[in-house]
Amino acid sequence: MPRPHIQGAETPLVISASRATDIPAFHGAWFMGRLKAGFCRRKNPFNAVQESLISFEKTRVFVFWSKNPAPFLPELDAIRDAGFSFYFQFTLNDYEKEGLEMRLPSLGARIDTFKRLADTLGPQRVVWRFDPFILGGGLSVEGLLERVNRLGRELSPFTDKLVFSFLDMYQKTARALRKINAGFRAPSEEEMHRLAQGLAEVNRSWPQPLALASCAEPVNLCAYGIEKNACIDARLIARLCPDDEDMQKALHPTGRRLSLLPAAQKPPRDAGQRRACGCFPSKDIGAYNTCPHLCAYCYANLSETLVKKNMALCRLMPEARESLL
């Protein structure tokens, strides 16, 4: 189906939906309205008077980020029928005992959603994230590995990869965590290596061992078979769009075909992300302070009050709104 041309709009090949909020959980109606319109707008999170106009005219792939994509499952056929490829970065942690993710469905319900999504899309298009690793407050390296191991035994037949990161202790994150338990902290570098080594060991015992990768982490964990991840993953995108000439040109602009082997030619990376991030260039369409999950460690929300205020706006005729906020 021909897609509309929007004068003056950016035309990304890949759209991230979204690092800033959980679109599948809370903003599916808005997304589907924008998909039908063929474009959206996004305000600059650092300067609200600046706004990007983003056209889906040339978009090939959507990367969805979510902790609860269950409300979005009925929309997947329509997205596919519109000619788009997509995959999910599905964060599935186990911090129920600590109360760090109080607004999420139960762990059992999230595991069920993960399996349903993988049954629908196939394992390669559902990437499991345990993100972030947090210690202290009763959480030890051994205890955290035990939880990951339990999840891995359940999830490994339904995915190809596990991606993880270590807690970034931003000021607002530290304040939120202290309200629950003053002992929560980021792992030390020595603990990072212990977690990585332990993760590699338990992974070998799972029904289907997974590729392991760290997200935007400067620490080198390759000794444990853990690579540095690209969450907007050029190699996965290459598999999803094998015959798309424009996509393949973007993936390997030198003219050499991108190998699927990790050690081969590196694809372009998104210069707008952190230095340790390996993501392929994309355009994000989300908005900060619009995720009612309100996870205690999250960087994307300033306060519950602001999220409630913004969500009241988001729920006003979401299908007609050009920008999420």
Whole-model pTM: value is 0.95
| Average pLDDT for the chain | 95
What is the percentage of the chain residues whose pLDDT exceeds 90?
Answer: 90
Q: Three-state SS string across the chain, please?
A: CCCCCCCCCECCCEEEECCCCCHHHHCHHHHHHHHHHCEEEEEECCEEEEEEEEECCCCCEEEEEECCCHHHHHHHHHHHHCCCEEEEEEECCCCCCCCCCCCCCCHHHHHHHHHHHHHHHCHHHEEEEEEEECEECCECHHHHHHHHHHHHHHHHHHCCEEEEEECCCCHHHHHHHHHHCCCCECCCHHHHHHHHHHHHHHHCCCCCCCEEEECCCCCCCHHHCEEECCCCCHHHHHHHCCCCHHHHHHHCCCCCCCCCCCCCCCCCCCCCCCCCCCCCCCEECCCCCCCCCCCCCCCCCCCHHHHHHHHHHHCCCHHHCCECC
Chain segment 187-219, per-residue pLDDT in tens: 999 999 999 999 999 999 999 999 999 999 999
Q: What integer is the mean pLDDT of 59-85?
A: 98
Chain segment 164-180, per-residue pLDDT in tens: 999 999 999 999 999 99
The pLDDT confidence band at residue 281, using thresholds 50, 70 and 90, is: very high
